[in-house]
Structure 1
Amino acid sequence: MNRRKAREKAVQALFQIEVGGTSPEEALETVCGDDHDPFLRDLVMTTTNHLPEIDNLIKKYLIKWPFERLGNVDKAIMRLAVSEFLYFDEIPVKATLNEAIEMAKTFGDDDTRRFTNGVLSKIVNEEGILKK
């Protein structure tokens, strides 16, 4: 499984965890069946293990928009991207941003893409998250 596909599956798993209240293990089983991709598993487990820190960082940069009003797909995309920013040093920031924006286009609309890009770009710029 390539990294883009793994990220898409991770967003689906994070969505299931949020909406359905399933465990990370159950969500991974549902989205990937027998294909237990290590990168996908790392994405989901790292994100869920650090959810309070990730959510607090996202909340900090939501201007005039309560976290609770975020769509569940938007939340999943942003959570995954912030997880990559903070805990996956080997992944360049630009790659993470590009992938998040592409997923926002795929799973949402133009407003979702712009909103996601705005929030994530603020996090990168104002938190000093710089990588290769």
Structure 2
Amino acid sequence: MKRRTAREKALQALFQIDVSNTEPTLAIEHVLEGEQHDDYLNKLVLGVVEHKSEIDNLITANLENWSLDRLATVDRNLLRLAAFELTFSQEIPENVILDEAIEIAKVFGDDQSSKFINGVLSKIKGTLHK
């Protein structure tokens, strides 16, 4: 599975977990739709779930005039996914993580999502290097 596909499926699984409190392994199983398991997809979903409070604190610290619970569910979980990668996946260049998140936001988010995601992730990227 390509990493882009793994990220998109991870977003879908995280959305399910966020909205309906689905068990992470069941959410992954559901988004795979019978496809073969993917290590990167598992790493993303389980990593976000494991580090959720730390990731949410990082996102919240970089939001202006927004609270995490007011964000669109897609945007909130895409931010979690990208923030996890920025924080815990040193083997992937930060600009690739940002570009992927912006492109996925264009597909799954609303008209403003990609700009919003870009702004918040750029701030997070800046705070990680202080």
TM-score (structure 2 length as normaliser): 0.95
* 2:69 equivalent to 1:104: no
> Which runs of 4 or more aligned residues in structure 1 lie more than 3 Å from their structure 2 counterparts after TM superposition?
none
Instruction: Report the RMSD for the aligned CA atoms in angstroms.
Output: 1.1
Aligned partner of 2:122 in structure 1 is 121
Identity of counterpart residues, as a percentage? 50
TM-score (structure 1 length as normaliser): 0.94
Q: Structure 2: which 5+ runs fail to align?
A: none
SS at match of 1:63: coil
In 2: Cα distance, 1:126 partner to 1:30 partner: 35
Aligned partner of 1:82 in structure 2 is 83
Q: Structure 1: which 5+ runs fail to align?
A: none
Aligned residues: 129
In 1: Cα distance, 2:22 partner to 2:68 partner: 21
One-letter amino acid matched to 1:67: L
Cα shift readout 1:37-92 (whole Å, capped 9, x = no counterpart): 01111111111100000000000011011111001100110000000011111111
Q: CA deviation at 1:110?
A: 3.1
In 2: Cα distance, 1:23 partner to 1:115 partner: 29
